[in-house]
Amino acid sequence: MNTSDLHIIPNPLVAKKTDKPFLIAGPCSAESRAQVLETGRAIAAKGDASIFRAGVWKPRTRPGSFEGIGEPALAWLQDLKAETGMPVATEVANAQHVEACLKNNIDYLWIGARTTVNPFYVQEIAEALRGVDIPVLVKNPLHPDIGLWIGALERFNKCGINQLMAIHRGFYSYEAAPYRNVPKWDLAIKLKRSIPNLPIICDPSHIAGDANLISEISQIALDLDMDGLMIESHCDPKLALSDAKQQITPDVLHQLMSDLNMPKATHESDAFNRNLNNMRSVIDKYDDEILNVIQKRMEMVAEIGKVKKENNIMTFQIQRFFHILKTRKSTGLELGLSKEMVYELFELIHKHSINIQNKI
């Protein structure tokens, strides 16, 4: 199946609002009937969220932590829905979870990051949903493999699930980072390019891992044209049994939502559009210059390749590679460019230079 063949039925709740982003909110876990109702009532009263979320089965890294209430908590979600009218969502990780959710009229299911990585589980859940018309939200896998993410969406689609959405919740990283899970916006954008009508929601709570960082990540997501947000909210975050550090109260959530700026894709003013086009033509010129310089570089690379070949010298020389990265990085730094960008750029340029020499 070509990814563009995915058949996606748009969700009416996601249909772009101009003044406020689409929001799914609720606690990491359903902990007690009182906690679900108190949190859900407060969220419903503020009117920011279209869907209430709460985890019922919690995938925890270590055994012994709170692993969720399980099936009995689904009744609390039903109680909240009956009272507030808000549709409810929970995470499913196997066929039994699906069966319990269908029995308890859960409206939305999401697939957690630890499940998306495993095609066996995804297939099992998809099969359990065959013939059921329920929206499914697929979180990105733990590691940045877009194939697994698309593969999971395809497995659901093949079992007849058409109301699909994706959730970008960031990726595990070995390197120290300000965030719990590093966002890979480029991957989310790539997914959007492969499946243009697939809504992509950002989960700033699991990206941040810290209540104080949720607002800045949410704003980036909106600036990048993501289709909505999933934010963890708990009536008393410090007492939360899971993800306590990243949860915010419904009041704080309301303030955060009010402070977010909803950017527009286009501007109606002709003067603005003319000015933007003029500035873009300057960029176009610089890009031409970049390509011309790269062409000259590659000509020289080919020359060197011939000399190496005539003298039986290896094409790839690690010392030279390190020297290039180090010197370009420090020149880039002097010019105020990002270290990461310069590093990635020259890694790519060097890789293709070596390819050219290998072909000689």
Contact residues for Mn ion, defined by CB under 5 A = 28, 243
29 vs 357, beta carbon nearer ligand PEP:
29
Asked if residues 155 and 127 have their Cβ atoms less than 8 Å apart, the reply is no
Interaction between residue 112 and ligand PEP (CB under 6 A): yes
Interaction between residue 234 and ligand PEP (CB under 6 A): no
Interaction between residue 113 and ligand PEP (CB under 6 A): yes
Shortest Cβ 269–ligand PEP spacing (Å): 40
DSSP letter at 165 equals E
Q: Going residue by residue from 146 to 185, which x/- string records binding to ligand PEP, judged by CB under 6 A?
A: -----------------------x----------------
Stretch that binds ligand PEP, among 106-114, 124-132, 274-282, 339-347 (CB under 6 A): 106-114
Stretch that binds ligand PEP, among 66-74, 110-118, 210-218, 310-318 (CB under 6 A): 110-118
Shortest Cβ 203–Mn ion spacing (Å): 9
Asked if residues 234 and 247 have their Cβ atoms less than 8 Å apart, the reply is yes
Count of CB atoms within 10 A of residue 45's CB?
11
Report CA dihedral (7, 89, 236, 47) to the nearest 10 degrees.
70
Measure the CA–CA gap between 273 and 24, rounded to whole angstroms: 34
Return phi, psi of residue 182, to 5°: -70, 125
DSSP reduced 3-state for 111: strand
Asked if residues 57 and 67 have their Cβ atoms less than 8 Å apart, the reply is yes
Stretch that binds ligand PEP, among 37-45, 97-105, 107-115, 308-316 (CB under 6 A): 107-115
DSSP letter at 109 equals E
Shortest Cβ 37–ligand PEP spacing (Å): 19
> Given its phi and psi angles, is residue 163 left (phi above 0), alpha (psi -120 to 50 degrees) or beta?
beta
Asked if residues 7 and 153 have their Cβ atoms less than 8 Å apart, the reply is no
Asked if residues 103 and 132 have their Cβ atoms less than 8 Å apart, the reply is no
Size of the site for ligand PEP (CB under 6 A): 9
Shortest Cβ 81–Mn ion spacing (Å): 21
Place of tokens 């689409």: 22
Measure the CA–CA gap between 52 and 39, rounded to whole angstroms: 10
Interaction between residue 206 and ligand PEP (CB under 6 A): yes
Shortest Cβ 55–Mn ion spacing (Å): 6
170 vs 332, beta carbon nearer Mn ion:
170
Q: Going residue by residue from 7 to 46, which x/- string records binding to ligand PEP, judged by CB under 6 A?
A: ---------------------x------------------
Q: Which does 101 bind (CB under 5 to 8 A by kind): Mn ion, ligand PEP, none?
A: none
Shortest Cβ 55–ligand PEP spacing (Å): 5
Residues 6+ apart with CB under 8 A from 171: 140, 142, 143, 144, 181, 182, 183, 184
Interaction between residue 328 and ligand PEP (CB under 6 A): no
141 vs 332, beta carbon nearer Mn ion:
141
Shortest Cβ 121–ligand PEP spacing (Å): 12
Helix, strand, coil content of the chain in percent (nearest 5): 50, 10, 35
Residues 41-70 that bind ligand PEP (CB under 6 A): 55, 59
Shortest Cβ 87–ligand PEP spacing (Å): 16
Binding region for ligand PEP (CB under 6 A) = 28, 55, 59, 112-114, 139, 169, 206
